[in-house]
Amino acid sequence: MDLILTPSSPMLGKRVAEILGLKLAKTHFKKFPDGELYVRVESDESNHLVISSINSNDDIILINLIFDALKGDIFLIAPYMGYARQDREFLEGEAVSIRAVAKMLEERVEGILTVNIHSERAKEKFRKLFDLDAMPLIGEHFRGRDVVMISPDKGSAERVKVAASIANADWDWLEKKRIDAQTVEIFPKNVEVNGKTVLIVDDIISTGGTVVEAAKKLYELGAKRVECACVHAVLADFAAVKLFSCGIEDIVATDTIERIFSKISVAKIIADHIRRVYQKA
């Protein structure tokens, strides 16, 4: 078995390969002037691990080209599975994007490994997917820090509870209403943060809108300092600038999407799973 690195997960892929003692296949990627992509993989192996977060449309095309180039069995590691927030038909006639992505990927792979896919509903669109939880790693990272962990909405509350129990921290959640893709409203709710350092914890930070609104409320409620942590640092639309400008003091993320804020690595939990499932000695 070898591991195919892609432009979206090179560091994480290298870490996983090192832990598992896998060789990296030689790859060639190109983008033509019109935006079309090109892939060539040199591999003699008959089993392949492909690691690529799905954080852009190019990632999806690239994965498909890699699938076409490879012979033999493929196992896909998609640490961040994009398109998972469109996990239902919110308006009549909408595509259920994650269902379409699932269909496309599962046609070619033996299995898919993700980290904190956005929802159970998204996960149910797959037949061959296993989802890992990085919240314990966030908990470990903050163990020993005197913070109150806050989920910006009820949807993430269970995840934050996991991180908080490992960090041995207090936790609570806020009430959020999404107005549109860029706008959210956080409702007043009494959480005990007066004079405290607060860590907003979420699965994804995308535009940053959720964290910004949550931070405003938390400062109004008397928080002394607000930081944020997430699994997937999508950070679209200058989100990091928005976060720091609204008074967020630090951003911590995992490396499911490789950012300067990726201070926690999911390499070990990925490698442990691969070892359990594919390298049963």
Of 190, 137, 197, nearest in space to 170 by CA: 197
Paired tokens of 215: 């931070």
Helix (H) or strand (E) holding 130: strand 129-132
Contact between 114 and ligand R5P by CB under 6 A: the answer reads no
Contact between 184 and ligand R5P by CB under 6 A: the answer reads yes
Check 123, 125, 161, 176 and give the catalytic one: 176
CB of 201 to ligand R5P, least distance (A): 10
Buried/exposed code over 89-99 (b: 16+ C-beta within 10 A; e: otherwise):
eeeeeeebbbb
Contact between 203 and ligand R5P by CB under 6 A: the answer reads yes
Contact 132, 78 (CB under 8 A): no
Residue with tokens 């359990």: 276
Contact between 49 and ligand R5P by CB under 6 A: the answer reads no
Binding segment for ligand R5P among 13-21, 23-31, 101-109, 205-213 (CB under 6 A)?
Answer: 205-213
C-alpha 226/C-alpha 111 separation (Å) is 39
Contact between 208 and ligand R5P by CB under 6 A: the answer reads yes
Q: In this complex, which beta carbon is closest to ligand R5P, that of residue 5 or of residue 184? A: 184
CB of 144 to ligand R5P, least distance (A): 26
C-alpha 150/C-alpha 161 separation (Å) is 9
Contact between 87 and ligand R5P by CB under 6 A: the answer reads no
Contact between 13 and ligand R5P by CB under 6 A: the answer reads no
CB of 183 to ligand R5P, least distance (A): 9
Contact between 53 and ligand R5P by CB under 6 A: the answer reads no
Q: In this complex, which beta carbon is closest to ligand R5P, that of residue 9 or of residue 207? A: 207
Cα distance between the two ends of the chain: 14
Q: In this complex, which beta carbon is closest to ligand R5P, that of residue 48 or of residue 161? A: 161
Q: In this complex, which beta carbon is closest to ligand R5P, that of residue 205 or of residue 274? A: 205
Binding segment for ligand R5P among 17-25, 160-168, 199-207, 242-250 (CB under 6 A)?
Answer: 199-207
Contact between 210 and ligand R5P by CB under 6 A: the answer reads yes
Of 270, 278, 275, nearest in space to 134 by CA: 270
Contact between 206 and ligand R5P by CB under 6 A: the answer reads yes
Q: In this complex, which beta carbon is closest to ligand R5P, that of residue 43 or of residue 210? A: 210
Residue 18 main-chain phi, psi, to 5 deg: -65, -45
Three-state DSSP class for residue 53: coil
- The answer to whether 196 is a known catalytic residue is no
Residue with tokens 């709710």: 189
Contact 259, 235 (CB under 8 A): yes
Contact between 204 and ligand R5P by CB under 6 A: the answer reads yes
Residue 276 main-chain phi, psi, to 5 deg: -60, -40
What residue ranges bind ligand R5P (CB under 6 A)?
152, 155-156, 184, 202-210
The residues annotated as belonging to the active site are: 176
